[in-house]
A and B are shown apart, each in its own frame.
Chain A
């Protein structure tokens, strides 16, 4: 099934800002936005943001989400070593009647 498109990898320096993107179409991101998940190696994913940049309790304000057209973005400010992880976007696709994930972006903090 068609998924969402994320760059496979992004590298940024410590304390800098990273912006991760997630591109879909009008059936998914364009109409529903996207949720963002963080996954460290060997651990289950953790929800970072959903529905118009709502952060679950305990998620740092350094993580913020936005959307423009069919592309959703996750911006991480003041990068820390612990931000090094895989990041996934997800949303509902109305044409597929399915939840779709992006392929994930591996963020490296240099």
Chain B
């Protein structure tokens, strides 16, 4: 059974930083593009970025909205994906999901974690 479990959320200070982790199981992690997506309260889905798979040299793409503040990394030996976000703003308050992209369509995300809530407070 595929499982993605995010951790690291909570209450963080305005201007501070966060590090989220996503631990995967039940599939060959190194074969998959891995994604971070967030959802602000009552709002839609926002893609933050991705780590491509080993075959694509683990290259990273970021959304323009977080580029420069965001670092995505992965450790295939731990089946883990990470998100670092700094200079936090109130509008970074959201549920943060990790997801895996299908092999057939890299913009389709077939497995999702339950998400971890991040609240940025002043």
Q: Which residues of A contact B (CB under 8 A)?
A: 1, 32, 34-35, 37, 39, 44-47, 50-51, 54, 56, 86, 88, 90-92, 96-104
Contact stretch, chosen from B20-28, B43-51, B82-90: B43-51
30 A-B residue contacts at CB 8 Å? A1-B63, A1-B64, A34-B107, A35-B105, A37-B45, A37-B109, A44-B112, A44-B114, A45-B45, A46-B112, A47-B102, A47-B109, A47-B110, A50-B102, A50-B104, A50-B105, A50-B110, A51-B105, A54-B105, A86-B44, A88-B44, A88-B45, A90-B107, A90-B109, A92-B106, A92-B107, A99-B47, A99-B107, A100-B47, A103-B44
CA distance A50 to B112 in the complex (A): 15
Nearest-neighbor residue (CB-CB) of B104 within chain A:
A51
Chain B residues near A100: list those with CB within 8 A: 47
Which residues of chain B from 30 to 65 have a CB within 8 Å of any chain A CB? 35, 44-47, 50, 61, 63-65
Which of B99-122 touch A at CB < 8 Å?
Answer: 102, 104-110, 112-115
Counted as pairs of residues, one from A and one from B, with CB atoms less than 8 Å apart, the total is: 69
Given known A51-B104, A54-B104, A102-B44, contact A96–B64 (CB-CB < 8 A): yes
Report the interface size for chain B: residues with CB under 8 A from the other chain. Answer: 23
Nearest 6 CB-CB pairings of A with B: A50-B108, A35-B108, A44-B112, A51-B105, A99-B47, A92-B107
- Chain A residues with CB under 8 Å of B107's CB are 32, 34-35, 50, 90-92, 99
Q: How far is the CA of A98 from the CA of B60 in the complex (A)?
A: 11
Tell me the smallest distance from the CB of B56 to a CB of chain A, in Å: 14
Closest beta carbon of chain A to B83's beta carbon, Å? 15
Which chain A residue lies CB-closest to B111? Answer: A47
Q: Which residues of B contact A92 (CB under 8 A)?
A: 106-107
A96 to B64, CA, bound (A): 8
Alpha-carbon gap, A100 to B102, bound state (A): 16
How far, in whole Å, are A68 and B73 apart by their CA atoms in the complex? 37
A34 vs B108: C-alpha distance in the bound complex, in angstroms? 8
* B29 contacts chain A at the CB level, 8 A cutoff: no
CB distance from A74 to the nearest CB of B (A): 13
